[in-house]
Copies of this chain bind each other. A is one copy, B any other.
Amino acid sequence: MTHRFTLGVASALAAALVSLGAAPRAQAEEGMWTFDEFPSNQVEQALGVRVDRAWLNHLQAASVRLTTGCSGAVVSREGLVLTNHHCLVSCIQALSSAQSDYIREGYFTEARTDERQCPVVQAEILIGITDVTAPILAASAGKFGEDYLSARETAVSEAEKAACAGDPKLRCQVISFYRGGQFKVYRYRKYPDVRLVFAPEFAAAFFGGDLDNFNFPRFDLDVAFLRLYEDGKPAATANFLTWTATPPVAGEAVFVSGNPGLTERQLTVAQLEAQRDVANPINELQRSELRGRLIQFSEQSAENRRIAIDHLFGLENTFKVYYGRQFALLDGQFMEGRRKEESELRARLAADPVLAAEVGDPWREISDVQRVYADQYIFWRQLESGAGGQSDLFRFARTLVRGAIERPKPALLRMPEYADSRLPLLEKALFDNERVEPALEQLYLEFWLAKTREYLGPDAPATIMLMGRESPENLARRLVQGTRLGEPAVRRALWNGGLSAVQASDDPMIQFVLRTDPVSRAARDVWEDEVAGPIERASRRIARVRFAFFGPNLYPDATFSLRLSYGKIAGWNNRGAETGPFTTFDGLFKRATDAEPYRLPPRWTAVKGKLELGTIFNFVTTNDIIGGNSGSPVVNAKGEIIGTAFDGNIHSIVGGFKYDGALNRTVAVSTSAISEALAKVYGRTALLKELEAR
A interface residue numbers (CB < 8 A to B):
1-12, 14, 146, 208, 210-212, 215, 276-277, 281-282, 284-286, 288-297, 299-300, 323, 326-327, 330-331, 374-376, 378-379, 443, 453-458, 460-463, 469-471, 473-474, 522-523, 525-526, 529-530, 593-596, 598
Shortest beta-carbon distance from A411 to chain B in Å: 20
Residues of B within 8 A of A596 (CB): 471
A-B contact list, 14 entries, CB within 8 Å: A2-B146, A2-B529, A5-B460, A5-B462, A6-B461, A7-B460, A8-B378, A8-B463, A9-B454, A9-B456, A14-B374, A281-B326, A292-B295, A296-B296
Shortest beta-carbon distance from A335 to chain B in Å: 11
Residues of B within 8 A of A453 (CB): 211
Q: Which residue of B lies closest to A455 (CB)?
A: B10
Residues of B within 8 A of A9 (CB): 454-457
Contact call A212/B289, Cβ cutoff below 8 A: no
Whether A212 contacts B4 in the complex (CB less than 8 A), given A289-B289, A296-B296, comes out as no
Contact call A8/B456, Cβ cutoff below 8 A: yes
Whether A457 contacts B8 in the complex (CB less than 8 A), given A284-B285, A295-B293, comes out as yes
Shortest beta-carbon distance from A46 to chain B in Å: 33
Shortest beta-carbon distance from A190 to chain B in Å: 36
Of the candidates B289, B299, B471, B526, the one whose C-beta lies within 8 Å of that of A292 is: B289
Residues of B within 8 A of A212 (CB): 458
How far, in whole Å, are A53 and B393 apart by their CA atoms in the complex?
68
Contact call B3/A526, Cβ cutoff below 8 A: yes
Contact call A285/B323, Cβ cutoff below 8 A: yes
Shortest beta-carbon distance from A243 to chain B in Å: 34
How far, in whole Å, are A293 and B327 apart by their CA atoms in the complex?
25
Q: Which of A285, A443, A473, A525 has the most CB of B within 10 A?
A: A285
Contact call A2/B522, Cβ cutoff below 8 A: yes
Contact call B530/A2, Cβ cutoff below 8 A: yes
Q: Which of A326, A456, A463 has the most CB of B within 10 A?
A: A456
How far, in whole Å, are A7 and B458 apart by their CA atoms in the complex?
11
For the A-B complex with A8-B460, A471-B595 known, give 6 more contacts whose Cβ atoms are closer than 8 Å.
Answer: A2-B146, A5-B526, A8-B379, A10-B456, A276-B330, A277-B330
How far, in whole Å, are A429 and B300 apart by their CA atoms in the complex?
33
Residues of B within 8 A of A461 (CB): 5-6
How far, in whole Å, are A277 and B8 apart by their CA atoms in the complex?
17
How far, in whole Å, are A523 and B374 apart by their CA atoms in the complex?
39
How far, in whole Å, are A456 and B7 apart by their CA atoms in the complex?
7
Whether A378 contacts B2 in the complex (CB less than 8 A), given A281-B326, A596-B471, comes out as no
Q: Which residue of B lies closest to A291 (CB)?
A: B289
Shortest beta-carbon distance from A386 to chain B in Å: 14
Residues of B within 8 A of A474 (CB): 595
Of the candidates B11, B331, B443, B522, the one whose C-beta lies within 8 Å of that of A375 is: B11
How far, in whole Å, are A210 and B282 apart by their CA atoms in the complex?
18
Contact call A4/B526, Cβ cutoff below 8 A: yes
Shortest beta-carbon distance from A598 to chain B in Å: 8
Contact call B285/A296, Cβ cutoff below 8 A: no
How far, in whole Å, are A215 and B1 apart by their CA atoms in the complex?
49
Whether A473 contacts B299 in the complex (CB less than 8 A), given A212-B458, A285-B284, A378-B8, comes out as yes
Of the candidates B146, B530, B594, the one whose C-beta lies within 8 Å of that of A469 is: B594
Residues of B within 8 A of A14 (CB): 374-375
Whether A282 contacts B529 in the complex (CB less than 8 A), given A460-B5, A461-B5, A596-B471, comes out as no
Of the candidates B208, B277, B330, B593, the one whose C-beta lies within 8 Å of that of A281 is: B330
Residues of B within 8 A of A598 (CB): 469
How far, in whole Å, are A119 and B141 apart by their CA atoms in the complex?
73
Of the candidates B8, B215, B293, B470, the one whose C-beta lies within 8 Å of that of A293 is: B293
Shortest beta-carbon distance from A8 to chain B in Å: 4
Residues of B within 8 A of A470 (CB): 595
In order of increasing CB-CB distance, the 3 nearest A-B pairs are A292-B292, A296-B296, A8-B456
Of the candidates B6, B281, B530, B595, the one whose C-beta lies within 8 Å of that of A460 is: B6
